[in-house]
Structure formats: structure tokens, C-alpha cells
Chain A
Amino acid sequence: NAGVTQTPKFQVLKTGQSMTLQCAQDMNHEYMSWYRQDPGMGLRLIHYSVGAGITDQGEVPNGYNVSRSTTEDFPLRLLSAAPSQTSVYFCASSSPGQGAYEQYFGPGTRLTVT
């Protein structure tokens, strides 16, 4: 199993550009989440999904869209990039069937908006 994969690993955008961060998992996990991590602020939840077709907002959803058309994929779309969205983005997945709601994190995407 590849686990949770994220692409790209690094990205530089100009203000106003849009892009999609990709996240895929091959563990058949129902739950998937997107976080951003900024220095001194820990991880902040952007959006999450408890199954295909179901998404909900987390703590900092503004400026981001998600959809969950399949169990495997959970892309994060930046609609119009702003310098405040410079961050490290992590995708995570988990399954209640494994009992402990342990989240498996992808390696992260480092995004810089200039």
C-alpha cells in the first residue's frame, strides 16, 4: 500500500492564481481531512469528509473548496491564492473500522504564494 499520497510536494503560485492540491489514499478509508500548518499555530482543519459525497467545514475553510466523488480521492482547491495561504498542507485519512480513529497523514505540500 502507498498509504496517503499528496501531489505536488512543492508549489509556488502568484496571487490570484488557482490550483488543486491532490490527495489520494489506497486504504479504503471512509474519513479524509485537509489541514494547514503554520509556524507556532499547529495544525488547523480546513475541510473534512466522512464518506463519498459528504464534506464539511473545519476551522479555516475560507478560500478553499473540496469535493469527494470517490472514496480514494479528496482534492483541495484554492480558488484565488493569497499570500496568507502560504503554508504546509497535509491530507489525512482514517477509518472507524480500525477502532481508534488513527489518522494517517500524507507527506505534505509546501505552498508559497507570492
Chain B
Amino acid sequence: GQNIDQPTEMTATEGAIVQINCTYQTSGFNGLFWYQQHAGEAPTFLSYNVLDGLEEKGRFSSFLSRSKGYSYLLLKELQMKDSASYLCAASRDNYGQNFVFGPGTRLSVLP
């Protein structure tokens, strides 16, 4: 079957570090993606892992372990504007399309 799990909600303090975990089971796998979605808006791309290891982009990093079906998104130096939902998605085909999305993790950053 196709299944992606991530925590429903998380809370963190401004300036802190937060890790959002994602586990996946999909038939076919060609990459793990993270998107940010503010309330009432469209998702925007954050990061992409196709090989095991860590990808770093400024304050955001993403990690993938294909053997464990596990990824995480690390957000450093949290800012109030990081309050949003974070969507984990797995691509299932060779085109990097045919995505399955997780339910999203709603992150609240408190002052």
C-alpha cells in the first residue's frame, strides 16, 4: 500500500531548532520532497532527497534513509513566519511525478 506518516502538530519557540519526521511505505520510490504551506495558500517547495544523506539549504535541512523509509526536515533559528504546515511527499515513478503526500505537520512557532 501507499502510506506516509508524519506528526499532526508540533510547537516550538522562536530561535529554537525543530525536527519534523516522516516515514513512508510506497510501491516504487524516486525521491522524498518537503513542501511548506501557509494557511489558505498554495504549497511551496522546500527540499528534495533522492539519495541517502543530508541536504542543506540555509536554515532548512532534509535527511533521507531509503533503507528505513524515513526522512526528516530540520528547521533552525525558527522565526514566527515558519508557522505553517509542512508536507512530506514521496515520488513513485521515474519521472519524479506520481506523488503521495502525507497529511502534513502543522508547526506553531511561539514567541
Which residues does A use to contact B, with CB under 8 Å?
31, 33, 35, 40-45, 48, 50, 56, 58-59, 90, 94, 96, 100-108
Contacts and interface: CB of A to CB of B under 8 A. Distances in A.
Given A50-B95, A103-B33, A108-B42, 17 more contacts: A31-B96, A31-B97, A40-B103, A43-B43, A43-B87, A45-B100, A45-B101, A50-B97, A59-B2, A90-B43, A94-B97, A96-B95, A100-B48, A101-B33, A101-B48, A102-B48, A104-B45
B65 to A, nearest CB: 20
Interface of B: 2, 4, 31, 33, 35, 41-45, 48, 87, 89, 91, 95-104
A107 B104 CA distance: 18
A48 B91 CA distance: 12
Contacts of B4: 42
B26 to A, nearest CB: 11
